[in-house]
Structure 1
Amino acid sequence: MNKRIVKILKIILPLLLGVFLVWYSLNSATPEEREELWLNILNANPWFLLLSMIFGGLSHLSRAYRWKFMLEPMGYKPRLPNSFMAVMAGYLANFGIPRSGEVLRAASLSSYEKIPFEKAFGTIISERIADVVVMLSITAFTLLLQTEYLLAYFNTHDINPLTSFGILVALLLVGILALQFIKRSQLSFLVRIKKMARGLLEGMRSIFRMKQKWAFIFHTLFIWLMYILMFYVIIFAVPGMENTEFSVIMAAFVVGSFAISATNGGIGVYPVAIGAILVVFGISKQTGEAFGWITWGTQTLLVLLLGGLSFIFLPIFNRQK
């Protein structure tokens, strides 16, 4: 298939998926359910939405500041305003073309701070690895919080936990065997996978070799704490969500984190996924989806504002260059 067509499909298909899910969710609801959804959104407390945006802004600022710890060992000291605007412009670009934001972010810093593109991009890949490790840790922690519920679910649906554990062990063994096969294989595409994996591991090791690794780790944890807080405070904005348990919110947070990467900026997928997981815990579909839409809308508005301003002010701030 023509490479140009493939690129176009990568942009259009996620958008179409998001639009379809929005249509399907609204079309499958009764007029009363749609009205309830709309009222929940309209009646949201704006002060908690503002607080959520503040937490989101702090996470983005911390991400921009954390970047310098990856660049300093190579002799580069970018100015914080440039790092922050590059981060926000990258987030905004991801709404149009998935994963293009990382390229734009590195290109922006390369243009205005004279940092080689490949080095700037390499540090972004390395810090993404750190974020993945934290996300997987949060996922494991959330599963532990939901142990009692999972056991009750297994009992209700007559599922043997030992069977599930055995399946997980079997899958783990299959994964280990697959890794051994890839490690020894000389097939061209598997060789490329091995090179990429070595690069990712090297990037992860570089985090522990940097001079200010503890500052980097602190900011990584701070970023994710702000993510959780900007998500959590929305429960006080949506009627009917105020008394939701923290463990339930964490389950929704994990689902939303994975869902947001499925389409450009999570449009359609994010609120539907949040609504679906909250229904499992006894929260009405309309309340859950309203929570998802408000959370997504609040942070999307923040990215649109800060990302748009970053596109405008990057060349102005660096006009002498």
Structure 2
Amino acid sequence: MKKKLIKFSRTFLPLLLGIFLIWYSLSSSTPAERQELWNNIKLADLKWVYLSVFLGILSHLSRAYRWKYLLEPLGYKPHLANSFMAVMGGYLANLGVPRSGEVLRGATISTYEKIPFDKAFGTIVSERIADLAMVLLITTFGFLIQTEGLVNYFAENDINPFISIGIFLVFIIFGVFVLNLVRRSSHPFMIKIKDFARGLLEGMRSIVRMKRKKEFIFHTIFIWTMYLLMFYVIKFAIPETNSLSVAGFMAAFIVGTFAITTTNGGIGVYPIAMGAVLLLFGVNQQAGEAFGWIMWGSQTLMVLILGGLSFLFLPIYNQKK
């Protein structure tokens, strides 16, 4: 019963929180404000939205391609199509159960490319460490160019972005500690865990052993450049955000990066966060929330379509193997 309750809370509480925030945001606004929000969304220049989605797809393709640099030192060369569909399937899973996408992505590539799950998952952990480094760099740059605005926003909304980073680092340290305990045990069950952990660590070490480090770094920078660009071009879709400064853009991007991890895919939280942070840079709340809805909605729709098609075509693509 306790396990079921924990599973329910992890799966549905973030989703329920997101739905509640959507309801609260709309119900607390006046009819005129709701109409203005809807008009901003309805009158958005779609060519910029399409461009944003295209840039998002490029980032996902690059992520799928980058993965091969971590798998090659382990002796595996997965097809790009399988890697891409595994990535998109993982993103789709994250919309339902937060952080489940990494597990599903590893399981998918393991199934269709015959790569041991522990090693595949280890490479995904290594990827996340590289992405964390990029988040730190972007956050540091954002604070340097707009320290006051970001600090005020985080303080007013009781948000500490470094808590998320700190928790991630604590998990890594705790994981290393547990692995050391497991390594010293001779219990049969612990031996099985030890074998899994050995494969996991081998996958993680691939980031050090890979031969084409420059290419890996290039794709990592490319992925995050596409993230920045797909966010940036959306500002041209709405007249009120057309003249948004670089400082405002960076502040909104950083806030959005952390807001999207709060609930399932950022549902409910992302548009509210955009409306709040852009208000600090002279954009009215309805236009800021419209920006958030367009950005979140277009990327989520893309994940739903490509993720759904990935699950459909994976068995078809691999049926002759």
TM-score range, shorter chain: 0.7 to 0.9
**2:117 corresponds to 1:127:** no
**SS of the counterpart of 2:241?**
coil
Query: How many angstroms does 1:205 deviate by?
Result: 6.3
- For 1:260, give the aligned amino acid: I
TM-score (norm 2): 0.84
Unaligned residue ranges in structure 2 (runs of 5+): 183-196
Q: Which residue of 2 aligns with 1:294?
A: 294
Query: How many angstroms does 1:233 deviate by?
Result: 0.2
Query: How many angstroms does 1:203 deviate by?
Result: 7.2
Query: CA deviation digits over 1:228-274, x for unaligned, max 9?
Result: 00000000001211001011011100100101011111100111111
Matches within 5 A, 1:149-298: 191-192=177-178, 206-298=206-298
Unaligned residue ranges in structure 1 (runs of 5+): 158-167
Q: Which residue of 1 aligns with 2:101?
A: 101
Query: CA deviation digits over 1:19-56, x for unaligned, max 9?
Result: 11101111111111000000000000110000000100
Q: Take 1:232 and 1:190, find their aligned partners in 2: how far apart are those partners?
A: 38
- For 1:26, give the aligned amino acid: L
Q: Which residue of 2 aligns with 1:7?
A: 7
**2:86 corresponds to 1:86:** yes
Go from structure 1 to structure 2 and tell me whether the alpha carbon gap of 1:83 and 1:190 turns closer, same or farther (over 3 Å shift).
closer
Identical columns (%): 62
Go from structure 1 to structure 2 and tell me whether the alpha carbon gap of 1:195 and 1:209 turns closer, same or farther (over 3 Å shift).
farther
Q: Take 1:279 and 1:67, find their aligned partners in 2: how far apart are those partners?
A: 38
Q: Which residue of 2 aligns with 1:62?
A: 62
**2:311 corresponds to 1:311:** yes
**2:136 corresponds to 1:136:** yes
CA contact (8 A) 1:129 1:204 kept: no
TM superposition outliers: structure 1 runs of 4+ over 2 Å: 147-151, 188-196, 198-209
- For 2:263, give the aligned amino acid: T
Q: Take 2:254 and 2:15, find their aligned partners in 1: how far apart are those partners?
A: 22
- For 1:192, give the aligned amino acid: V
Q: Take 2:6 and 2:258, find their aligned partners in 1: how far apart are those partners?
A: 23
Query: How many angstroms does 1:64 deviate by?
Result: 0.1
Query: CA deviation digits over 1:134-190, x for unaligned, max 9?
Result: 001100000011147579x7xxx9xxxxxxxxxx9xx9xxx9xxx9xxx9xxxx999
CA contact (8 A) 1:228 1:253 kept: yes
Q: Take 2:76 and 2:261, find their aligned partners in 1: how far apart are those partners?
A: 31
Go from structure 1 to structure 2 and tell me whether the alpha carbon gap of 1:39 and 1:15 turns closer, same or farther (over 3 Å shift).
same
TM-score (norm 1): 0.84
Query: How many angstroms does 1:191 deviate by?
Result: 3.8
Q: Which residue of 2 aligns with 1:49?
A: 49
**SS of the counterpart of 1:144?**
helix
Q: Take 2:317 and 2:175, find their aligned partners in 1: how far apart are those partners?
A: 44
Q: Take 1:79 and 1:310, find their aligned partners in 2: how far apart are those partners?
A: 14
